[in-house]
Amino acid sequence: MAITAGMVKELRETTGAGMMDCKKALTATEGDMDKAVEFLREKGLATAQKKAGRIAAEGLCKVLVSDDDKKAVVVEVNAETDFVAKNEKFQAYVAEVAAQAMVTDAADIEAFMEEPWKADTTKTVKEELAGQIAVIGENMNIRRFKQVTEENGFVASYTHMGGKIGVLVDVETDVVNDDIKEMAKNVAMQAAALKPVYTCRDEVDQEYIEKEKEILTVQAKNEKPDANDKIISGMVMGRINKELKEICLLDQIYVKAEDGKQNVKAYVDSVAKANNAKITIKSFVRFETGEGIEKKQEDFAAEVAKQMGN
């Protein structure tokens, strides 16, 4: 039976499911509208699409590390409320997503969503997500994942606030022992707490530095119009260095430094020296739940008044 645009439109209006999902359902059921509705409900797509407009900015960041610590992954899965984020079903689902992301060859989240779901290969990751939305009853989203592999050392991990923040740190080292693992965890905790943007200064784009110099030079000249170029240059470089110490992980003041002056690189070097090791912090990944997502602000007093007709 030929599937017409009108049939797709009707099914879409009935279920709230996406156009391609409706076409797929009608094709699978040979145009039987009732069976197509059942098909979408079984897949969880009918209810999932109706919830898709809701903002999912809560949720969990989950880290998973291999037994030999050579490979790790961090994922972020969002839900609408913190209540659901603490739900055991949701947490079990997020753990399954992390397990899938640990072994995936997908280069991005779009490819990841289209691959077969490990626990049931008759479904895609996207279809399993839709089913979970139907069961849990909130809009959900697998937002992102990142794998880290280090053959010449290990990957350290840290989870903060029950999964609000997940961090991985890539540590290249020729010695692996408890002291060095503790150091790596401390560095991961530093990244969680102080939100660095870069690992070290070498990663900072030179164009960004030059643009900052331009802005800060104008700022310094406005503050000290009578100062010569040497003074202005000194003011500008001082401010750039201060900024780099805030945004580069290895340049940040180590939060546990007893003198309040030691930076993270000096701390790592001191541990390396004490253990006769060569250690390099190659990179880090920091996911924070809902980071960059505009959350809907609820005015509960106004909502109650509206419901009461005031």
Q: Which fold has domain 5-52?
A: Helicase, Ruva Protein; domain 3 (1.10.8)
Token pair in block for residue 276: 């006769």
The pLDDT tens digits of the residues spanning 247-263 come to 999 999 999 998 989 99
Percent of the chain with pLDDT over 70: 90
Task: Specify the higher pLDDT residue, 50 or 85.
Answer: 85
The pLDDT tens digits of the residues spanning 5-45 come to 888 888 877 776 777 888 888 999 999 888 888 888 777 66
**Is there a contact between 204 and 248 (Cβ–Cβ < 8 Å)?**
yes
Give residue 2's pLDDT. 83
The pLDDT tens digits of the residues spanning 157-192 come to 999 999 999 999 999 999 999 999 999 999 999 999
Give residue 21's pLDDT. 84
Domain ranges within the chain, ordered by starting residue: 5-52, 55-149
> For the chain, what is the mean pLDDT?
89
Band of pLDDT at residue 308, cut at 50, 70 and 90:
very low
Average pLDDT, stretch 69-86? 94
Record the pTM. 0.76
Give residue 22's pLDDT. 86
Band of pLDDT at residue 307, cut at 50, 70 and 90:
very low
CA distances from 116 to 18, 128, 144 (A): 20, 9, 17
**Is there a contact between 60 and 136 (Cβ–Cβ < 8 Å)?**
no
Task: Specify the higher pLDDT residue, 211 or 105.
Answer: 105
The string over 50-69, giving b where at least 16 C-beta atoms fall within 10 Å of a residue's C-beta and e elsewhere, is ebbeeebbbbbbbbbbeeeb
Q: Which fold has domain 55-149?
A: Tetrahydropterin Synthase; Chain A (3.30.479)
The pLDDT tens digits of the residues spanning 108-144 come to 999 999 999 999 999 999 999 999 988 888 889 999 9
CA distances from 32 to 48, 207, 214 (A): 21, 60, 66
Give residue 304's pLDDT. 47
Token pair in block for residue 125: 């990751």
